[in-house]
Structures are given as structure tokens and as C-alpha cells.
A and B are shown apart, each in its own frame.
Chain A
Amino acid sequence: MALKDSAQSNIIRKMGPLLGLVLLSGAMALLSDRFLDVNNLLNVARQVSINAIISVGMTMVILTGGIDLSVGSTVALAGSVTAGLLTAGQGMSTAILAGLVIGVVLGCFNGFLITRANVPPFIATLGTMTAARGFTLVYTDGRPITGMDDAFRFLGGGYIAGIPVPVVLMIIVFAAAYVVLRQTKFGRYVYAIGGNEEAARLSGIHTKKILLSVYSIAGLLAGFSGIIMASRLNSAQPTAGVSFELDAIAAVVLGGTSLSGGMGTIGGTLIGALIIGILDNGLNLLNVSSFYQQVAKGAVILLAVIVDNRRKKGA
């Protein structure tokens, strides 16, 4: 019986966010005749991609019962380093690799603090967030970096078969994460740690290794997003990515992943990111005052968490 119960509640977990997305899209389509235009949908997908890629890493982190506040600063530092190396005449692959390495290093550092120094994830990543933002300002001297080759712009502004490149990258990242979480031992361990870290450790899982990997992946994906964003704006902003961690957490939570870990899906996160993106885009199209937009976004996030809590109580 228990198995059936959990299967059923799992379906509901997935259906809830999807239903929300469908209803929201329906409302937007009714209210604005521009919303369902193919161009606009591609536009929404492109706007969502950066947050969505960050949210994949955030999903894994939250599944283990942790949190990563440093992703926004990672976006800025990785983007700045890549742009800086490009303007210094380095090759595209070197510069992009360096940005990705920065992401991994920051993530790895988070993992190290959490697993070896026993710092709670919230505090560890808060420290990294602040320090990485400082490093970004030091590296850029507080000024935007511009003057990259036009070839670099393909990453954020190009198209592959009519689909914007960031959207293609987002789909690849989600597909990979889906396979990893669903089909591999690593994925099962991530869920196991989130369910009960102590039990996972006692059953022979290298919890520290897994956690280190999860935070490294989160850093890598945040760095990747930062590089895409620098390309999209054709400039690396030292203030880029401020409060991106909150958008990512919101996408994960809206997607039905439980903040206490162990429960949630990568597909849900995609839906969550789409809900936020459609809210932003739709409220823009409808010419709703930006002040109301923030109220609406906040209300949606809060309600999603309330839904999550009620589900837990009811189950």
C-alpha cells in the first residue's frame, strides 16, 4: 500500500506544477493575443534558459537537503573571467573553459566547507556568494567588460535550426540531468542523502563525495549560465546575477521539489522556471506595472510553498 501511496502522491507532485503552468499560459493567451505568437514563445524560452540552467544545479542541491546561495555571484565571476580572457586575446575554448573551471572551483569550495568544515550549507554558500562577488569586482575593477569577438555572441544570441542557442543548451542540460537523476546510482544517492543523510551514510554511500559533486555541478552550471549571459549581453557586468539564486530557488520550489530534500523532479524544475518566465513575459506584454509584477511573483512563490506544506501534512 505504501508504495502505491507514494507513487500516487508523486504523480500529484508532478501534476500540480504542470496544471499551474497550463492555467497560467491559458490566462496569458486569453489576455494578450501576442503571447502565443511563435516568436514570443521562443523569446520566453530564451529568457528562461539562463535561470533554468542554474535551477538544474539548484535542484540537485535542494534534493540533498542543502541550498546554494552563491550561484548569482558565480554567474558574475565566470562571465567576467571568460569575457576578460577573450578581450585579452585568448582563444574562445580557453576562455570558456576558464569560466567553467571558475564555476567548478567555487562549487567545490562550497562542497568542501559543507562536508569537511561542517559549515551549514546556508552559511557556507552565503560566504562564498559574498566573497565571489568581491572577487568579481576586484577582477573587473567594477567596470563592465566589453569588446569580445563577434563569434562569442553565437552562444547567447545565435540560432541552431531556428531555435535560440541558449534554449538548445538548456534542453541538453535538462536531458542530461534527467538521465543522471533517474537512471544512475549517483542520482539515487542524491535522493537517498536528501531523504536521510545519516541512513545513507550508514548504508555505505560516500555521502561526502556525493555532496561535493552536487555542489560542484551547481557551480559548473551557474558558471555556464554566466558565460551564456555575458554572450547574450555582449558584455560581462560586475553586478550580473544579483538575486539569481532566489529565482533559481523559486523555480525549484515551484516545480514541487521539497526544500527539506529527498523529493522532487528535474522536470518539475523546468516547469517552475517556465512559470516564472511566463509570469515575467506575460506581465510585460500586458503592461502591468513592474511593482505589481513583483507582488505577483512573490505571491506565486509563497502559494507554491503553502501547497507543498499542505501536501506534506495531508500525505
Chain B
Amino acid sequence: MVRFSAKKNMWSVLLLAVFVMSILLTGCGGNKPAADTAKKSVVGLSVSTLNNPFFVDLRDGAKAAAEAGGMDLVVMDAQNDASKQLANIENLIQQKVGVIIVNPVDSKAIVPAIEAANKAGIPVITVDRGAAGGKVVCSIASDNVAGGKLAGQYIVDKLGGKGKLVELEGIPGTSAANDRGKGFNEAAKAAAGLTVVAKQPADFDRAKGMKVMENILQANPEINAVFAHNDEMALGALEAIKAAKRNNVIVVGFDATEDAVKAVNAGTLGATVAQKPKDMGKIAIETAKKVMAKETVPESIPVALELIVKK
């Protein structure tokens, strides 16, 4: 009896091993991993999450630029977990990549990872979000405060300076949420007739944006405009507003993801602020190339913003 079970056990373990190996091989697609750095320059890109179209665009922009520049790009996804991102960057350091481009989950929690890269002598470029410490050769980002102002100003003009506003905030404590909120509130405060009646975090997430908006609609019979710190939340809020049959609520998002631009052109979403993530990825790769060629690069490169409204 026991021997029989032992056999079964061994079989299962073998099966497991074969399976793991096959996954590895399919994952690699047969290409040799990035070990021969001498032949081809390898750039590491650590993205905060690939569950958000904005960062997928950023990655795609970087990928295209790397292919055009004849570079290998190693992409890692931290799934919005700061400790996972640290592990990812440690693993990039182990791979001895030429440059590490990082889009931090959190600007403070990323510091130990950047310090580790500094120690290993690998230059670091930050993209979209900055870092609160460590040595960064170049930070590439849009001015989120200016973007928040653009959105706020659009709402002020649309409402003629009077009305009740809702602000859906991103993940509390992230620099993107802080800065966009700051810019928006500056613009809103300038118009005396505007009051922000509700301000709630929905963590940059579409489902949460919808849920939070549903609750806010229950509590506030009159709402004229919503500003969400990103498009995902704005689109979620839009669903809630549609389901509640509340008309004439202007919703403004931020990021100009594909979905959001479609919604703007369909007339459901009022406006969104374009940050051009694809350009960010592209500029990051071009900067990495310059860094590897030992050229000097500017300490920060701003990426232009624009307000997308229905054409």
C-alpha cells in the first residue's frame, strides 16, 4: 500500500517539475536570458503595476523605443507592492543590467532599492513618479500640479464658477494623488462659488471609483462636477452616475487612457488630462541610451501635458 503511494508521490513531483520547466521554457520563448551584457545593452524597467492601462502604455512606449534602439529591455511588474518592487530591483541588479528605469510604487519606499543600485554602480532613472532619496541621474515626469490645475480650470469655466464638486482621490500618500489634488483645489478655490462637497479616496481603481461614487451620490442630492485623480476612477464614477440617472454631471479624469479618450469623444466624459505615458517610456529609454554612452543628461525632463476635450 505504502509503496504504491510513494510511487504516486514521486510521479506527482516529477509531473510538477516537468510542468515548471515547461512554463519556464515557454516563458523564455527560447531566447537566451540577458546575461551577455557586453554584446547588447540591457535596460531594466521596473513598473509599479501592469494592471493599469497607463503603465501598460508607458511600457509599450519603452519597448518600442528599445527595439528601435537595438537594446534589450527587461520589464518587471511590482503589482503596486513596494516590497515586491524592492525584490524586482534587487533581481535586476543581480542581472547586471546597464541602467535601471524605475516607476516607483511609492517615492519614499523606493529609496533603499535605489541605494542598492547606487552601490552596485548601476545608474537609475525615475519615470512618472520621483524618488525621495538615493542618487537618480534623471527623473522624467509630468507636472501633476499643473495637470490638476488644468482639470480644475476646465470645471470652473464649464460651470461658470458656481457649483458643487466631488473629488475622487488616488491612493492616499502617493505623490500623484497629492499633486493632482493640490492643483485641482488651487483652481477650485480661486472661484468663490465652488464648493467641494465630497472628497474620498478610491485608490486609482475603476471598481472602487464606481463604489465610492455610488455612495457619494446617495449622500449628495446635488452634484455638478467630479474630478477624479485618474481615468480609471473617472470611468467608474461615470458608470455610477449613469446608473443613478443623474444627468448634467461633468466628470473629468486624468491620464488620457484609450478608454477615457473614447469616452470623451462619445461625449460621456467631460475631459481628461493627457500625460503621454508612451512618450515617457520613450524618453526614458532614450535617456538610458545616453547614460550608457556616458553622455550628460539633464536632472529632470518634464513631459508635456494637454487637456483632451471633445473635438
Contacts and interface: CB of A to CB of B under 8 A. Distances in A.
Contacts of B88: 284
A46 B10 CA distance: 30
Given A9-B6, A47-B87, 19 more contacts: A5-B1, A5-B2, A27-B17, A31-B28, A34-B94, A142-B201, A146-B108, A283-B24, A284-B76, A286-B27, A288-B28, A289-B75, A290-B75, A290-B77, A290-B79, A291-B77, A303-B12, A303-B19, A315-B1
A24 to B, nearest CB: 6
A239 B83 contact: no
Contact of B13 (A19, A27, A141, A153): A19
Given A32-B35, A233-B109, A287-B33, A311 B83 contact: no
Interface in A98-134: none
Contacts of B280: none
A12 B1 CA distance: 14
Interface of A: 5, 8-9, 12, 16, 19-20, 23-24, 27-28, 31-34, 37, 39-40, 43, 46-47, 50, 140-144, 146, 153, 157, 229, 232-235, 237-240, 242, 279-293, 295-296, 299-300, 303-304, 306-307, 310-311, 313-315
A282 B26 CA distance: 14
Interface in B4-23: 4-6, 8-10, 12-13, 15-17, 19-21, 23
Q: Is the interface of B mostly helix, strand, loop or mixed?
A: helix
B34 interface: yes
Interface string B73-105: 011110111110011101110111000000000
Given A284-B76, A290-B50, A314 B5 contact: yes
B173 A20 contact: no
Contacts of A232: 83, 86, 112
B255 interface: no
B301 interface: no
Nearest to B90: A43
Contacts of A146: 108-109, 132
A310 B8 contact: yes
Contact of B87 (A280, A303, A311, A313): A280
Contacts of A291: 50, 77
B112 A234 contact: yes
B121 to A, nearest CB: 14
Given A283-B27, A290-B79, A16 B111 contact: no
Given A235-B106, A290-B50, A300-B20, A285 B95 contact: yes
Contacts of A12: 5-6, 9-10
Contacts of B34: 287
B171 interface: yes
B91 A284 contact: yes
Contacts of B24: 27-28, 31, 282-283, 286, 288, 296
Contacts of A23: 13, 17, 20-21
Contacts of B75: 287, 289-290
A303 B108 CA distance: 38
B157 to A, nearest CB: 32
Interface string B104-132: 00101101100000000000000000001
Given A43-B90, A234-B111, A303-B12, A285 B23 contact: no
